[in-house]
Amino acid sequence: MNTTGFIFDLDGVIVDTAKYHYLAWKKLADELGIEFTKEDNEQFKGVSRKRCLEILLEMGGRSVSQEQFDAWMVEKNEDYLAHIEKMDASEILPDVAKVLEHLKSNKTPIALGSASKNARPILEKVKLLSYFDTIVDGNSVSKAKPDPEVFLIAAQQLNVAPDRCVVFEDAVAGIAAANAAEMVSIGIGESDVLHEADHNFTDFTEIDLTFLDALANK
């Protein structure tokens, strides 16, 4: 088996949904009287919805009943979905579609590996769903990044050996997960934050297609 598989994180790699997550968490935080800034939102990247709410409540020094916790999870998600509803292809991050098109035209196996439970509707909204041979998201995993589970399932579903997979990630936890899966990790974002990655790029406009071909053929 000599094929290379490419696995994409969603939020912060394909689309900039962090701003919508921020608006929804900020609304809830304001309601609860907890201070929540854009800087605080950084620690929510790549982290499951449940863990985000736990962190928010820890920040506010609050402990709540399971029932209340679940109700706030629903409230945050409904608010987030209202933002997602308005998304279209114009929100795909620069050159992501070009890279997907290139990989697809070479018949390269492509997977999504995301912590989000809203991955499918988002890919549908931005019209990229058809590029993916498999979607592994927050509904399919039991262990969150930095655990490698999400990427290992993606490799299995693509029928590609883990050490033949390349992962695009914008979160520290995601890079750690890719490294733990012994995959090639590519950090998308600030290299000083994502310094554990095998390769770093600010965004996809910096990635040369010949670099991807070299990874695919190594």
> Catalytic site residues?
9, 11
Residues 6+ apart with CB under 8 A from 130: none
CB of 170 to Mg ion, least distance (A): 4
- Select from 43-51, 59-67, 177-185, 194-202 the region that touches ligand BG6 (CB under 6 A): 43-51
Q: What is the per-residue binding string for Mg ion in 196-215, x denoting contact by CB under 5 A?
A: --------------------
**DSSP assignment letter at 183:** P
Residues 6+ apart with CB under 8 A from 118: 77, 80, 81, 84
CB of 19 to ligand BG6, least distance (A): 11
Q: Is 11 in the site for Mg ion (CB under 5 A)?
A: yes
Q: Is 21 in the site for ligand BG6 (CB under 6 A)?
A: yes
CB of 191 to ligand BG6, least distance (A): 19
**Per-residue DSSP letters for 100-131?**
HHHHHHTT--EEEE-S-TTHHHHHHHTT-GGG
Q: Is 186 helix (H, G, I), strand (E, B) or coil?
A: strand
Q: What is the per-residue binding string for ligand BG6 in 97-136, x denoting contact by CB under 6 A?
A: -----------------xxxxx------------------
Tokens 């589970």 correspond to what residue?
Answer: 149
Q: Is 171 in the site for Mg ion (CB under 5 A)?
A: yes
Question: In terms of CB distance, is 173 or 212 closer to ligand BG6?
Answer: 173
Which tokens hold the place of 8? 């994409």
Q: Is 134 helix (H, G, I), strand (E, B) or coil?
A: strand
Q: Among 102, 96, 156, 150, which Cα is nearest to 127's?
A: 96
Question: In terms of CB distance, is 47 or 194 closer to ligand BG6?
Answer: 47
Q: Produce one character per residue of 153-178: b if its CB has 16 or more CB atoms within 10 Å, e if not.
A: bbbebbebbbebbbbbbbbbbbbbbb
Residues 6+ apart with CB under 8 A from 121: 81, 84
Q: Binders of Mg ion: how many residues, by CB under 5 A?
A: 6
CB of 145 to Mg ion, least distance (A): 9
26, 49, 125, 164: residue in contact with ligand BG6 (rule CB under 6 A):
49
Taking the C-alpha atoms of residue 189 and residue 201, their distance in angstroms, rounded to an integer, is 6
Q: Is 12 in the site for Mg ion (CB under 5 A)?
A: yes
Q: Is 10 in the site for ligand BG6 (CB under 6 A)?
A: yes
Contacts with ligand BG6 by CB under 6 A lie at: 10-12, 21, 44-49, 52, 77, 114-118, 138, 171
